[in-house]
């Protein structure tokens, strides 16, 4: 910097660290989510003030993950849309049997239905997702992958085919 000042050379200073976003209890999560996405996408996320992670009160974490699940559902691949007619999607803390599980499909895949089956359930487990993700972008991506993965099982798509489709 001292050498640059002697020669009148322009210098760009970059702020270090991550940019947090603090969401308070009175925040409207739908609006906050939209603004966070816009802020991150602006200029390809290459702004010093572009959000890197989100701090929310613990009691609002479930709402945030539910909002991300809604986002994932609104951007599903067209092949999975028919599956939504008979699937309930829920956000839970953690699976009791497998605490590290991210998601779980329970039901009869559409390719094996005979007509007498009840509704299927896809569970998304927020605590393992939040624990494994470093920032909001990771969490958003991981929630989307988990939702698509479990709904693909509801559609009768196996893991090998998921890989081929690029949905795994």
Given the residues 14, 96, 112, 160, the one annotated as active site: 14
User: For residues 28 and 56, is the Cβ–Cβ distance under 8 A?
Assistant: no
- In 10 A of CB 68, how many CB atoms? 25
Whether residue 14 lies in the annotated active site: yes
Given the residues 48, 79, 106, 131, the one annotated as active site: 48
Whether residue 142 lies in the annotated active site: no
Look up tokens 């693909």; give the residue.
152
Backbone angles phi, psi at 34, to 5 degrees: -65, -45
User: For residues 130 and 55, is the Cβ–Cβ distance under 8 A?
Assistant: no
| Sequence-distant (≥ 6) Cβ neighbours of residue 67 within 8 angstroms | 29, 30, 33
Catalytic amino acids? 14, 48
């Amino acid at each position: 910097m001292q050498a640059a000042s002697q020669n009148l050379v322009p210098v760009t200073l970059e702020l270090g660290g991550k940019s947090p976003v603090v969401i308070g209890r009175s925040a409207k999560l739908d609006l906050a989510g939209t603004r966070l996405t816009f802020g991150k996408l602006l200029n390809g996320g290459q702004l010093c003030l572009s959000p890197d992670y989100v701090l929310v009160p613990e009691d609002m974490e479930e709402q945030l993950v539910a909002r991300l699940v809604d986002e994932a559902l609104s951007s599903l691949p067209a092949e999975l849309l028919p599956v939504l007619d008979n699937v309930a999607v829920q956000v839970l803390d953690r699976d009791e049997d497998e605490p590290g599980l991210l998601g779980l499909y329970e039901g009869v895949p559409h390719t094996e239905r005979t007509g007498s089956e009840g509704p299927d359930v896809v569970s998304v487990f927020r605590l393992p997702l939040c624990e494994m993700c470093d920032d909001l972008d990771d969490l958003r991506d991981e929630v989307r992958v988990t939702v698509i993965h479990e709904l693909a099982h509801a559609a009768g798509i196996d893991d090998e085919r998921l890989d081929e489709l690029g949905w795994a």
